[in-house]
Amino acid sequence: MDIFESYKQLGISKAVYDFGEEVLKELKQRFEKIDGVAEYNQCKVLNAMRKNRVDANCFSASTGYGYNDVGRDKIEQVYADTFHTESALVRPQIVCGTHALTVALSANLLPGDELLSPVGKPYDTLEEVIGIRESKCSLKEYGVSYRQVDLLDDGTFDYENIKKAINEKTALVTIQRSKGYQPRPTFSVKQIGELIKFIKQIKPSVKIMVDNCYGEFVETEEPSDYGADMIVGSLIKNPGGGLAPIGGYICGTKECVDRCAYRLSAPGLGQEVGASLGVMTSFYQGFFLAPTVVAGALKGAIFAAKIYEKLGFRVVPNGTEERYDIIQAVELKSADGMIAFCKGIQKAAPVDSYVTPIPWAMPGYENEVIMAAGAFVQGSSIELSADGPIREPYCVYFQGGLTWYHAKIGILTSLQEMVNAKLINL
Ligand SMILES: *Cc1c(COP(=O)(O)O)cnc(C)c1O
């Protein structure tokens, strides 16, 4: 069997294939380490499922109000036990990550309170949620003020100014773990832990929320192991394992999560209502697979970093750094570069492989965004995907891959498109 023959059928040239194989030789040890983390996290998830006696009853669909939905209640307990929190809200009624974050923020901030981001500008879609960009129903409109302390030039926390920014109004601190659309480093769970400790020493009553998107299962610990009151994320990213068709989660203290449940449904109703409809099997099975899926995505991210670094592009993180999320940023230097890269990812997709991605004005984002996603679940970015706002420094954010092999094929196809467009010479 000649594996290159299969790649050839996918449109990969010998030069591109060989380049990839050369890069892979250097990655053996790192891949082994990633497998070790996945194995550890697999134990963690399995333990939580055993402890909670997950069984076939958990997979039944409830409708209407969804009273006494055992599967829904248990998946929340499984999340809480895996992430070591008192409580969890894991729902298909949370429509995306931004929604989960909005629920967590608006449930735990009251008029007159101040929200602090000590890690610079939050994710694009949160600008309207907070009111950094004017919007109807923003936190600002409800009388919640916002303060931000930017990172220092080297990407570390500006402790001095964070201390100054905490005042009598500061009620909640939001820490974004992943870089999102910023060319800054992603924080390790340990780094986040240090920041949490620092803030709680100054003001113990302040609540800490971590935007955990793209970070779940990358390490053996989560920010909730280091004192975060809430960790929040999307099920069409890491913890859904590629199978959850929708959903978001908030794991944290009972006090915070109860408030989130009241905000999501209604005061007095809380977690008691919310039909699971028929998505529970995919929630459980996806969470069960998530550690392995995340490992595959991580391998893809490192492979992409090594390839583009070798070709002279700036990549964040670089090819050798520790990883704290599954996102790989590649500065492609031009809009054409972004388009060619995304074209390749799209071409390698199992779904919609025949369409050509073009930049568009996506709701919630300030600049035009290009997105390559040929996913089974619309917009799922634990599946192989690439996106980025068309603005300097023309940085594409690559992530996902339900299997390592698919991530590899996608990356090689993107490289092929760059070569075909004469943006790269191998
Ligand atoms: C994806 C993401 C969000 C928002 O999630 P959506 O599901 O797209 O609404 C928020 N924060 C970070 C860091 C993210 O990566």
Do residue 96 and residue 224 come from a single domain? Answer: yes
The answer to whether residues 237 and 382 touch, using CB atoms and an 8 Å cutoff, is yes
Amino acid at 307: I
Confidence at residue 346, expressed as pLDDT on a 0 to 100 scale:
97
Ligand 1: atom nearest CA of 101 is 10
Residues ≥6 apart with Cβ < 8 Å to 360: 368, 369, 370, 371
Do residue 23 and residue 84 come from a single domain? Answer: no
How far apart are alpha carbons 157 and 167 in whole angstroms? 18
How many structural domains is the chain composed of? 2
Q: Which residue has the higher pLDDT, 78 or 181?
A: 78
Confidence at residue 1, expressed as pLDDT on a 0 to 100 scale:
77
Q: Is 393 inside a domain boundary? A: yes
Q: Is 224 inside a domain boundary? A: yes
Do residue 197 and residue 315 come from a single domain? Answer: no
Which of 91, 98, 174 is the best mutation target for the ligand 1 pocket, counting ligand atoms within 8 Å of the beta carbon and taking the most?
98
Does ligand 1 lie within 6 Å of residue 397's CB atom? no
Please determine, for residue 363, whether its predicted confidence score (pLDDT) is greater than 90.
Answer: no
Nearest CA to ligand 1 atom 13: 180
Confidence at residue 356, expressed as pLDDT on a 0 to 100 scale:
94
Please determine, for residue 184, whether its predicted confidence score (pLDDT) is greater than 90.
Answer: no
List the beta bridge partners of residue 90. 249
Do residue 65 and residue 148 come from a single domain? Answer: yes
Please determine, for residue 281, whether its predicted confidence score (pLDDT) is greater than 80.
Answer: yes
Q: Is 56 inside a domain boundary? A: no
Do residue 227 and residue 297 come from a single domain? Answer: no
Residue 22 belongs to a domain with what CATH number?
3.90.1150.60
Do residue 239 and residue 101 come from a single domain? Answer: yes
Residues of the chain above pLDDT 70, percent: 100
Confidence at residue 39, expressed as pLDDT on a 0 to 100 scale:
98
Does ligand 1 lie within 6 Å of residue 182's CB atom? no
Do residue 257 and residue 164 come from a single domain? Answer: yes
**Span 16-43, pLDDT tens digits:** 999 999 999 999 999 999 999 999 999 9
Ligand 1: atom nearest CA of 179 is 13
Does ligand 1 lie within 6 Å of residue 244's CB atom? no
Amino acid at 79: Y
Do residue 193 and residue 270 come from a single domain? Answer: yes
Which of 129, 192, 234 is the best mutation target for the ligand 1 pocket, counting ligand atoms within 8 Å of the beta carbon and taking the most?
234
Does ligand 1 lie within 6 Å of residue 214's CB atom? yes
Do residue 246 and residue 347 come from a single domain? Answer: no
How far apart are alpha carbons 407 and 21 in whole angstroms? 14
Of the candidates 210, 211, 216, the residue with the CA atom closest to the CA atom of residue 228? 210
Does ligand 1 lie within 6 Å of residue 62's CB atom? no
Average pLDDT over residues 134-141: 97
Domain containing 291 equals 3-42+287-420
Do residue 259 and residue 395 come from a single domain? Answer: no
Of the candidates 219, 226, 237, the residue with the CA atom closest to the CA atom of residue 38? 219
CA 422 – ligand 1 centroid, Å: 33
Confidence at residue 124, expressed as pLDDT on a 0 to 100 scale:
87
End position of a domain, from candidates 278, 301, 317 = 278
Do residue 298 and residue 163 come from a single domain? Answer: no
- Name the pairing type of β-strands 170-176 and 114-117: parallel
Residue 87 belongs to a domain with what CATH number?
3.40.640.10
Which of 94, 182, 211, 387 is the best mutation target for the ligand 1 pocket, counting ligand atoms within 8 Å of the beta carbon and taking the most?
211
Q: How far, in Å, are 26, 77, 120 from residue 153 at the CA level?
A: 31, 41, 11
